[in-house]
Amino acid sequence: MTNGATPDDPCAVRRFRLAYVPGATPAKWVRTWRERLADVPLDLVAVEAGDAERALRDDEADAAILRLPVDRDVLSAIRLYEEAPVVLVSRDHLLAALEPEEPVALADLADDVLLRPLDDVVPWAGEPGAADDAPAPPGRPAVERPATTGDAVVLVAANVGVAVVPQSLARLHHRKDVTYRRLDDAPAAPVALAWVADRDDELVEEMVGIVRGRTVNSSRGRRAEAAPAEPEAPRGAGRGGTGGQNGREGGRGGSARGERAAGRRAGIRGGRASGGSRAAAAARRGGTPAGGAGSAGEDRPGADLTGAPRARSRGRRSSLTYISDG
């Protein structure tokens, strides 16, 4: 399986293949990809949790959203978020009587049979990637471990025991005869974006930028190079020129300001010719005569007869960066 373009067929459309494990939700990043790289199709590849690393090594995917840990000698990975663990119980279990928002402690499971599937992703003590202070699995171990999380849920429904899984897997394997409650002191399950370290190309960099919340202009991929920022206008442009023109333009600007000021004073002295005695009186008081913009003595929008410019509010651009919360 290839991602499209090959040395034998360089004109083929390049595609990006993103693998994901059960419970992972790549939809928001897929939307961003399709907005930014509409000419590069993105294919989603569903894989089991235990097959994600193999899919990357065998070039069946360019990157994968999977659960840590991974083999860091082969793969690069960035952590995206951590999933809260829950305990799955049958509807007939005593814990099912608790309110949905009421948490459960590991000690509450001491008398239960814990159904740990072989594809368990909770980093208990002694497991690869577990924290130094990670707790041991609660309860009593099952005589035989279920092969998959789905098999464990079937046994939970039969009230054989309980299972501890990330909340996304509890929702994925929803059944009417099974419910779940939050576990406060169980280890969280980290989710990451991973790829083969020696295949770190521009499209992988694009995906890394997307999941990290980079904007188009801050991305280090090829799209940032294809969209250069607009050049800034030189300082002083429109105010008096540059180089040797500064003095001449500045002098003309000063003369113009002097003429306008003289015109305002003449307008005030002119009385009726400048808008009547009311205008002159208003000018002496520092006010603006009735009639608003266009009244005698006003030379530009945004200024009154005293020559003081009106305050202009400047909006502040908001910069929002998405932070993955899973």
52-67: pLDDT as tens digits: 999 999 999 999 999 9
- Domain span at 23: 16-82+190-226
Residue 201 has pLDDT above 60, yes or no: yes
What's the CATH code of the domain at 59?
A: 3.40.190.10
- Indicate whether 25 and 165 sit together in one domain: no
**267 in a structural domain:** no
**67 in a structural domain:** yes
**275 in a structural domain:** no
- Indicate whether 144 and 164 sit together in one domain: yes
- Indicate whether 89 and 76 sit together in one domain: no
- Indicate whether 214 and 121 sit together in one domain: no
What does the block give as tokens for 139? 């309860």
- Indicate whether 60 and 143 sit together in one domain: no
**303 in a structural domain:** no
* pTM of structure: 0.64
- Indicate whether 183 and 40 sit together in one domain: no
Residue type, 148: T
| Helix H or strand E segment including 269 | helix 245-270
Q: Which residue, of 226, 249, 274, is where some domain finishes?
A: 226
Residue-wise pLDDT tens digits, 135-155: 999 999 999 999 999 999 999
54: three-class secondary structure by DSSP = helix
- Indicate whether 214 and 159 sit together in one domain: no
Tell me the Cα Rg of the chain. 34
- Indicate whether 91 and 176 sit together in one domain: yes
The answer to whether 96 and 88 have CB atoms below 8 angstroms apart is: no
What's residue 221's pLDDT? 52
Residue-wise pLDDT tens digits, 216-272: 776 455 555 444 444 444 544 444 444 444 444 444 554 555 555 455 444 444 444
The answer to whether 175 and 159 have CB atoms below 8 angstroms apart is: no
Q: How far is the C-alpha of 144 from the C-alpha of 49, rounded, in Å?
A: 20
- Indicate whether 168 and 124 sit together in one domain: yes
**311 in a structural domain:** no
The answer to whether 18 and 43 have CB atoms below 8 angstroms apart is: yes
- Indicate whether 127 and 174 sit together in one domain: yes
Q: 12 pLDDT band (50/70/90 cuts)? A: low
- What is the total count of domains within the chain? 2
